[in-house]
Amino acid sequence: MKIILSNEALLWFKEEMEAEPGDAIRFFARYGGSSSIQAGFSLGVTKEQPDEVAIETEHDSVRYYVESRDKWYFLDHDLHVNIDPKLDELIYSYEKA
């Protein structure tokens, strides 16, 4: 599994979540909503330091990661993070790894 972030998404994190060097952004499974890979669950995002990292990537000294306890959500898919240009919101897509 990999986390792939578009340049637009990286800019969104800097502007909307005030991500700066040394910060960490966590993607996590949350109950409710829907996704194309897990019925009844959706993906959440928060700024917090990691506990047990399963997968991570780093851009401009900001860590983007998934904890071990949330790895099940991805079912061996890569996470692609982009921006919906009309809504200026994060959008997620999943591709089989």
Residues ≥6 apart with Cβ < 8 Å to 95: 77, 78, 80
> What end-to-end distance do the CA atoms of the chain give, in Å?
6
Q: What is the per-residue pLDDT for 91?
A: 94
The reported pLDDT for the residue numbered 17 is 97
Cα→Cα distances 60→11, 93, 95, Å: 11, 23, 25
10-residue mean pLDDT series, the chain (97 residues)? 97 97 97 86 96 97 97 94 94 93
* Partners of 97 in the β-ladder: none
Alpha-carbon separation of residue 84 from 12, 52, 60, 90 (angstroms): 11, 30, 22, 6
Q: Is the dihedral of CA 57, 61, 62, 67 positive or negative?
A: positive
Q: Which residues pair with 29 in a beta bridge?
A: 43
Whole-prediction pTM? 0.93
Model pLDDT, residue 81: 98
